[in-house]
């Protein structure tokens, strides 16, 4: 268990003000992803390199509480995907399967606007639009990625079984079958030319 997780009683329970304030950042572990850490994940390599060279923006971050990776416990936290685009493609999270593939996950939109892009190993692709108050249920066996289609931070609360693990490698190597791009002023899902 990390330092953040040690301040919570995972055996007897606890309450937490989960507003995104300095209080949370002192108790939760923040992981930040800059654009340069997502090389190869966007379709427009020239636009990617130009944006990294110009500013290397923060694309997303997530806060987690360091839940013990035990069967029966729940891990939860907050994910923030920032507004922006690489070429026509919206800023997004890397996306992942769970190591225990039969794991579902729930995302509740707190603010902003975006989509949850999901796909399973058999090739079924689904996208669920999210706005404040909407919940996305990610079924077991589906990789998932948050995509910010708005012009403000897209903030979601997530929860999943604590021992599920994360498989980022499959998406890093193969990509997702579909991309979410801006077309005629609206988000559209298109085939990913880099999908392997």
Q: Any idea where the domains of the chain sit in the sequence?
A: 5-191
**Which has the closest alpha carbon to 167: 105, 112, 123?**
105
Q: For 5-191, CATH number? A: 2.60.120.10
The neighbouring-strand residues paired with 155 are 80, 111
Contact 93, 130 (CB under 8 A): no
Confidence of residue 27 (pLDDT cuts 50, 70, 90): low
Is a pLDDT exceeding 70 seen at residue 192? yes
pLDDT greater than 50 at residue 115: yes
Residues 124-142 have a mean pLDDT of 97
What is the predicted pLDDT for the residue at 1? 29
- Dihedral of CA atoms 167, 43, 119, 59 in degrees, nearest 10, equals 60
Q: Is the pLDDT of residue 158 over 80?
A: yes
Identify the residue with better confidence: 187 or 27. Answer: 187
């Amino acid at each position: 268990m990390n330092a953040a997780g040690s301040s919570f009683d995972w055996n007897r329970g606890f309450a937490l003000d989960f507003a995104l304030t300095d209080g949370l950042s002192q108790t939760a572990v923040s992981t930040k992803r800059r654009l340069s850490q997502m090389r190869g994940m966007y379709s427009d390599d020239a636009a990617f390199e130009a944006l990294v060279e110009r500013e290397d923006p923060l694309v997303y971050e997530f806060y987690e509480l360091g839940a013990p990776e035990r069967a029966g416990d729940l891990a939860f936290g907050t994910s923030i995907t920032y507004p922006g685009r690489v070429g026509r493609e919206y800023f997004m999270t890397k996306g992942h399967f769970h190591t225990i593939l039969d794991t579902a996950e729930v995302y509740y939109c707190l603010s902003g606007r975006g989509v949850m892009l999901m796909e399973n190993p058999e090739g079924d692709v689904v996208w669920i639009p999210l706005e404040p108050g909407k919940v996305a249920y990610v079924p077991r066996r589906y990789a998932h990625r948050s995509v910010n289609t708005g012009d403000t931070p897209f903030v979601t609360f997530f929860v999943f079984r604590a021992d599920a693990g994360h498989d980022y490698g499959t998406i890093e190597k193969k990509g997702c079958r579909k991309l979410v791009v801006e077309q005629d002023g609206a988000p559209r899902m298109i085939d990913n030319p880099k999908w392997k």
